[in-house]
Amino acid sequence: MSAKVADQVLDAAPRTIDIVGRRNWYFALSLIIILPGIISMALFGFRLGIDFQGGNQLSVTFKHQVQATAVQKEMDSFNVQATVQQAGGDAVLITTRPLGSDQESRIRSDLGSKFGGGIKDISTQFVGPVIARELVAGAVLLIVIASALIVAYLSFRFNFKFAVCAILALLHDVFVLAGVFSIIGHFTTLGEINTLFVTAALTVIGFSVHDTIVIFDRIRENMRQASRLNFEQNVNLSIVQSLSRSINTSMTVVFVLVALFLISPPNIKGFTLALLIGIISGTYSSIFNASPLLVVWRRLDPR
């Protein structure tokens, strides 16, 4: 794009589209969204799934239809910290703390005699505490490695300032996702943290960086052109030029995830919800946080 064309685009853009000029409002909105999640994480922590906490998971199919609430009431009498989820009209998913063989046998016998005229099928999964700790460490390591590789790549392709701003935008997405799941997990099993959540978080990181790089690349291209634009105007112009593309791309993904969330079985609803929250947050941070942070840094360090 020539300098003359860039100037014409800037002049033609609606005067109300001044994203960089209103950056403090967008930063404040991000803070308002993140703060409740941070408070929830500090007070309530997370609802850890069997992957990260350890325990037994029983998938029970009865001969007749049952209600998860009725099974939950029965499981509470065993005092095993049970959580019961509906997995179909005649099936439930029961997660408990680690059970002994005798205790598990009593639970099977009790459920078979009190619900649906007997159990049609039952399968058990067990995760020990040592494996759970290894999974937690592995999940944290994956996120750290992904972030380090992103910093290295962006530093090579652009410069270190671009890389740091991209990582700050990623931290925004991680805090939003983790905070929302901490709040949801306090009230419902939908906010459970498990390996699927980690998969969703890594997917969101990749999607968010992809969107950010598109805008960064546009900034670099515009900076190469000699024009009357200063750095702040150049960044704002680059965001405006990429705005429709970013929103259109994200909305197509959001529509698919909404449909998937509505029709998906209970065991992957949390995964689709995490993707949905992360994609929306990632699109917002790429447009309204990452690039405006470059302007703030440029003002603090003109070099």
* 149 lies in the same domain as 259: yes
Tens of pLDDT, residue by residue over 241-265, are 888 888 888 899 999 999 999 988 7
How far is 35 from 122, CA to CA, in rounded Å? 42
* 114 lies in the same domain as 145: no
Name residues whose C-beta falls within 8 Å of residue 191's C-beta, 6 or more positions apart in sequence. 46, 47, 180, 181, 182, 183, 184, 185, 270
Q: How confident is the model at residue 12 (pLDDT cuts 50, 70, 90)?
A: very low
303 close to 161: Cβ distance less than 8 angstroms? no
* 164 lies in the same domain as 211: yes
Average pLDDT over residues 185-200: 84
* 231 lies in the same domain as 113: no
Domains of the chain: total: 2
* 112 lies in the same domain as 249: no
Share of the chain above pLDDT 70, in %: 90
The answer to whether residue 129 scores a pLDDT higher than 50 is: yes
pLDDT for residue 43: 92
Centre a 10 Å sphere on the Cβ of residue 302 and count the other Cβ atoms it contains: 7
CATH of the domain at 107: 3.30.70.260
* 68 lies in the same domain as 135: no
How far is 21 from 26, CA to CA, in rounded Å? 10
* 222 lies in the same domain as 238: yes
User: By residue range, what is the domain housing residue 285?
Assistant: 3-49+131-300
The answer to whether residue 16 scores a pLDDT higher than 50 is: no
The answer to whether residue 150 scores a pLDDT higher than 50 is: yes
Name residues whose C-beta falls within 8 Å of residue 261's C-beta, 6 or more positions apart in sequence. 269, 272, 273, 276
Tens of pLDDT, residue by residue over 67-111, are 888 888 888 887 777 778 777 777 888 888 777 777 778 887 888
Name residues whose C-beta falls within 8 Å of residue 47's C-beta, 6 or more positions apart in sequence. 185, 186, 189, 191, 192, 193
* 257 lies in the same domain as 111: no
- Final residue in a domain of this structure, among 89, 106, 127: 127
